[in-house]
Amino acid sequence: MRNVAIVGYGHTKFGVRNEVNLAELAYEAIREALEKAGLEPKDVEHVVVSNVGGWSSEPLPAVVVAEYAGLSGKPLHRVEAACASGSSALASAYEAVASGMADIALAVGVEKMNESPTPNVVELIGRAGNYFWEFQNFGLTFPGYYALYATAYMNKYGATEEDFCRVAVKNHYYASMNPKAQFPRKIDLETCMSSRYIAWPIKLYDSSPITDGAAAVVLASEEVAKKLTDSPVWIHSIGMASGTANLSRRDDFTGLMAAQLAARAAYKVAGLEAENTARYFDVAEVHDCFTIAEVMAYEDLGFVKRGEGYKLVREGQTYIGGLIPVNLSGGLKAKGHPLGATGISMAVELTKQLLHEVEPGRQATINKGMAVAHNVGGTGHYAYVTVLGLEKPRGR
């Protein structure tokens, strides 16, 4: 396996993007990523498109995106892993380069979720669990799924609704400094606490929005990366795991086993211990589709012990200057959550953080030169954990 680096990245404005179609939106990110890498479409040898779809007009988005971007003729495929589709695309492009199949690969994620009415989108996302058992029989949608986790966590560990709202306040604070965010504005605790319930104890401001957006990264082998840039960001490892489709088959509702397994796999390859892991990283991007998900991510990633994640929020330890700054992009909560683009958006954000290329006020202090992304599909149906660093991976 060869070393693989991110040598270019692109990211669109997230939000309601009615002024562009799916291919145009994807091309915004692709064009920026290629320009940053100093490449043209002809230089790309492998293309992976992440798109969940169902709510947008194109049933075959990969070929439409590739044609519009001047990438037709390249090896091309589409991936889908629910909300973790972007990380799945990143992993697929990484494997193409690491294996020697290609020297330069492009991973792009894109979603036009607002092409369908909100109730339809909510239903389509709700079908992403176990449709016949959970959605059809019990009417569960994803706020309901995560409400089960939130109530179990509160009951077991004593967390409160205020603790979850503090996650939203933090993420909106950093989104206010991110011009690409869907909601670049601050909120206070009262705003979150007084918002209407979606599925108790989850409120409107505990929830990520429906989003259009795209993100892209260019990956290159070590030999090629050295020719393209003096500042590559290396992929140290990508851990992957899955969970049961049917939530009734799970033993615990205070964490996501798939995320825990993916983290252990990523840490093992990267040569990191699986406990007290905040010591390794300068910054993290985690999957906060709902605020409870971010709190569980702290524990699933090993930043703190089980049941201590909400204490990080109470103490402000996930702000810049704390134990581990988390979601300085604004997270899914405020930056937005275009499902197919989210995982790649995380990789873009962490690349920019490591290279000191983010906006003032939300730049983490980079001492260790390492970052971690945590991307969950569904309610832990899929999980990807990606470790990035400024130094080449050990032993390679």
Active-site residue set: 83, 337
Strands of the 370-377 sheet, one edge to the other: 76-79, 46-50, 104-112, 212-221, 4-11, 233-242, 382-389, 370-377, 283-285
What is the DSSP secondary structure assignment for residue 12, as one 8-state letter? P
3-class state of residue 292 by DSSP: helix
Separation CA 285–CA 180 (nearest Å): 15
Strands 104-112 and 46-50, sheet pairing = parallel
- In sequence order, what are the beta bridge partners of 285? 373
Helix (H) or strand (E) holding 161: helix 161-175
Q: Are 25 and 112 in contact (CB under 8 A)?
A: yes
Amino acid at 318: T
Q: Are 195 and 181 in contact (CB under 8 A)?
A: no
The tokens describing 133, both together, are 């058992």
Q: Kindly give the interhelix angle for 291-300 and 257-270, rounded to the nearest 10 degrees.
A: 40
Q: Are 370 and 388 in contact (CB under 8 A)?
A: yes
CA of residue 201 relative to chain centroid, distance: 24
Q: Are 15 and 114 in contact (CB under 8 A)?
A: no
CA angle 94, 95, 97 (to 5 degrees): 70
Separation CA 303–CA 281 (nearest Å): 10
Q: Compute the Cα dihedral for 150, 154, 157, 160 and give only its sign.
A: positive
Helix, strand, coil % over all residues of the chain, rounded to 5:
40, 20, 40
Separation CA 309–CA 305 (nearest Å): 7
Q: Are 386 and 272 in contact (CB under 8 A)?
A: no
